[in-house]
Amino acid sequence: MKRGVIIAVVVILALVLSGSPVPAQSPAAPAAGPLQRIAYIDVQRVLARSAAGVAAREQLEREKATMQKEMDGRRQELEKMREELDKKGALLTADARREKQEQFERKRRDAARMMDDFQKELEKKESVLLQKVLQDVSGVIERIGKDKGYYLIVEKRGAGVIYASPEADLTEEIIRAFDQQGGKAPAAATPPPAASPGKKP
């Protein structure tokens, strides 16, 4: 063994004396994981397929159905008033016909305001519910990223990914981990009741 060491020292000294550079030892190449440990997820797929995302969507659909039922009642009331004006308007005095027409227009405006209020309320509830799901799933993403040693996990759509290999897709793994964690969407915060459209100035 000593002889081998002496030979190695002699070779290095010969290289130095001859002016040739001593070859540097190549560093060990890092263990390259799948795609250099960079992965992506599709957040829209998480929202659409995870248990919490589905629960949030179902809750929004129930809210929407309740609002739609009320709007249908308003629309039927307006249709009935319009039919009465068409059928009996000619039999009314000018003042009575004008009063009926003004009453119809007020109710039509109230219904339009109510529809606008409902739309804004739905958008607000959707934002609250889905933001809570995203907040919860971000913890799962961070945990999996750390546990598996990923350098970077990006959102497929938001990051503007032009090409992505299916092997780099963590979406289904995130969904499974999120569901196992028991991620559930909480009930949306109910905003204070809005003033009845009929009471607006």
Q: Are 63 and 125 in contact (CB under 8 A)?
A: yes
Run of H or E residues at 58: helix 51-88
**DSSP-H helix ranges across 89-185:** 94-147, 171-181
Q: How far apart are CA 42 and CA 93, in angstroms?
A: 65
**Angle at the Cα of 187 from the Cα atoms of 185 and 190, rounded to 5 degrees:** 145
| pTM value surpassing 0.75 | no
pLDDT reported for residue 47: 86
pLDDT reported for residue 36: 60
pLDDT reported for residue 183: 54
- Residues comprising the chain, all counted: 201
- pLDDT tens series, the chain, 201 aa: 444 433 333 333 333 334 444 344 434 334 444 446 888 888 888 888 999 889 888 989 999 999 999 999 999 999 998 888 888 777 778 888 888 888 889 999 999 999 999 999 999 988 888 888 888 888 888 888 888 888 888 888 776 776 777 888 888 999 999 998 875 544 444 444 444 444 443
Give the strand pairing for 152-155 and 38-41.
parallel
Q: Which of 46, 37, 59, 41 is closest to 136 using CA atoms?
A: 46
CB proximity list for 168: less than 8 A, separation 6 or greater: 34, 35, 38, 39, 40
